[in-house]
Amino acid sequence: ANANVSRVPFFRFLNFEIRSLDRLHAEAEMTFDDRLIGNPVMEYYHGGIIASFMEATAAIAVHPGFADIPAKPINLTVDYLRPGVKGPLYARAKMTRKGKRMASVSVITWQMDREKAVAEGLYHFLLV
């Protein structure tokens, strides 16, 4: 899966690695970098970077061999619960529904403590 991640330029920009992958889940880790900062005073992750990392992890959960047929996002909802501070960010995507035309994936991100989410979201993908 990580070989496929490196083939997508935006995924390379996000600089994350898949840590585990099975039929319904994908878990990833993103390394902190100054280019991902949204608040330079506090050194917090940019919200769009967090949402993009969540979307990438969700897309991989839908299509683990995504380099051939990537899932197309059609809708997303993200709730930001606390700031993403300097340090690694983790995401776990769980496919909640997969039909013939659409898949739904819930995603949670955290840093030190899995119980203290940075953000959680629901992503819908068109399968074609």
pLDDT, one tens digit per residue, over 1-24 is 678 888 888 888 999 999 999 989
Task: Quote the DSSP letter at residue 114.
Answer: T
Distance CA 92, CA 77 (A): 16
| CATH match for 2-126 among 3.40.630.10, 3.40.50.850, 3.40.1000.10, 3.10.129.10 | 3.10.129.10
Report the predicted TM-score, pTM, of the whole model to 2 decimal places. 0.94
Each residue of 86-121: pLDDT tens digit?
A: 999 999 999 999 999 999 999 999 999 999 999 999
Each residue of 30-82: pLDDT tens digit?
A: 999 999 999 999 999 999 999 999 999 999 999 877 656 668 899 999 999 99
Q: Locate the domains of the chain by residue range.
A: 2-126
